[in-house]
Amino acid sequence: MTPFQRYLVTKTIWFLIAFAVALVANFLLIRLIPGNPVDAIMAQLAAGGSATGEAMKNIYESYMAEFGLDKPLWQQFFIYLGNLARGDLGVSFARSPARVQELILQSLWWTLALQLPAILIGWIVGNVLGALSAYRKGWLDKTVFPVSLFISAMPFYCLSIILLFVFAVYWKLFPSGGGYGYDMNPALNWAFVSSAAQHYVLPFLSLVLVFIGGQAVGMRAMSIYELDADYVRYSRGLGVNDNNIVRYIFRNAMLPQVTGLALSIGFMVSGALITEIVFSYPGLGTLLFASIRLNDYSVVQGITLIIMIMVLIANFAVEIAYGFIDPRIRAATTGER
């Protein structure tokens, strides 16, 4: 096996282990709810009088049957795995008879369309800005560094709230919430697309600005380290062209940034979920918020599982990309995972 193949195999095994841990955690933690989730929701429904006796009986029976909550824990776990394998996440407690996977699929696309471009664009712009400000110093560094530091320290939701207030409420430049106009249905026509685009601007901006800030701060620090390295002095002494030196620096400083991206995806996603809530954007975050308020445990559990899987996959993709761009991994496997 070449070192690169060994790297791929190791990473795949790690991914599978983390995936298994995520499945078990998601299964066990929801069962920490005193009694069991079905009894808990039944008690609340009965107290609130929001469901008729017939509907309650249906939900109760379908849940007991689907999850086998009267069986021992290990059997429940296999039932849970079996349901997952069929892509079935059960029925929503609060919005029965809607299935959890239907609710999640409706919101998943909105979340992906918001977060993927924000993370990618934020990463690229942030790194270029960070490397430039480290290399050029002067006024660029004096403005980029403090501004990036401030923005990256800003919790996503604080920036979101302020953008929402300034641009949507005070100046009324953009709509103040939702994913598209209230009077529309999702369809592929000009009116819908332009309305969706208008609703997209503010949530996207609040995510991308924070990503750019965070990446720029990290890249600047990395580049300063590299600027001081012996190979830079040596190349300068040899009279190597400045542009080439910047290329060396960028390539070396970028590697820890890629690792940083893999490690921070979880934080980014959790911050982005709250951004959706601020803008009532019809993604997973808003669905999660509504489900927590309704004590809709089955939907919450489905969303937490989907988030874990998304983060794990993103992580895995970044690690594989790292294997492609790090020459040391192509040459030999290194000790540090």
Partner 1 sequence: MAATPQSAGEIGPRGERLGSLYYNTRKVASALNPRFYFSLIVMLLIIGFAIFGPIILGRDDPLITVGGLYDSPSREAWLGTDNFGRDVFTQLMYGTRTSLLIGFLAGIVATAIGLVIGTVAGFRGGNTEEGLMAITNVMLTIPSIVILILISLALNNRSLIVMGFIIGVVSWPWTARAVRAQTSSLKMREHVDIARLAGAGTLQIIVWEIIPFMLSYVVMAFVLQLSAGILQEATLSMLGLGPSDTVSLGIMLQWALLWESVRTGAWWAFVPPALLLTLIAFSLLLLQASIDEIFNPRLRRS
Q: Which residues bind partner 1 (CB under 8 A)?
A: 14, 17-18, 21-22, 25-26, 29-30, 32-34, 137, 149-150, 152-155, 157-158, 161-162, 164-165, 169-170, 176-177, 221, 224-225, 228, 263, 265-267, 269-271, 273-274, 277-278, 288-289, 292-293, 297, 300-301, 304, 307-308, 311-312, 315, 337
Q: How far is the CB of 188 from partner 1 (least distance, A)?
A: 29
Locate 297 and state its tokens.
Answer: 């445990």
Least Cβ distance, residue 283 to partner 1 (angstroms): 14
> Which lies closer to partner 1 via its Cβ, residue 17 or residue 65?
17
CA distances from 169 to 162, 173, 281 (A): 10, 8, 16
Residue 99, helix vs strand vs coil: strand
Give me 265's structure tokens: 């995806």
| CA-to-CA separations, 202 to 18, 52, 175, 298, in angstroms, rounded | 34, 41, 9, 31
Minimum separation from the CB atom of position 336 to partner 1 (A): 8
* Rounded least distance, CB 241 to partner 1, Å: 24
Nearer to partner 1, 246 or 311 (CB): 311
- For CA atoms 222, 228, 230, 236, the dihedral sign is positive
| Neighbouring C-beta atoms of residue 321, cutoff 10 Å | 13
Query: If you search the block for the tokens 């790690």, which residue do you land on?
Result: 14
What does DSSP assign to residue 90?
-
| Residue 58 or 198 with smaller CB distance to partner 1 | 198
8 vs 58, which CB is nearer to partner 1? Answer: 8
Q: Which is nearer to partner 1, 180 or 279 (CB)?
A: 279
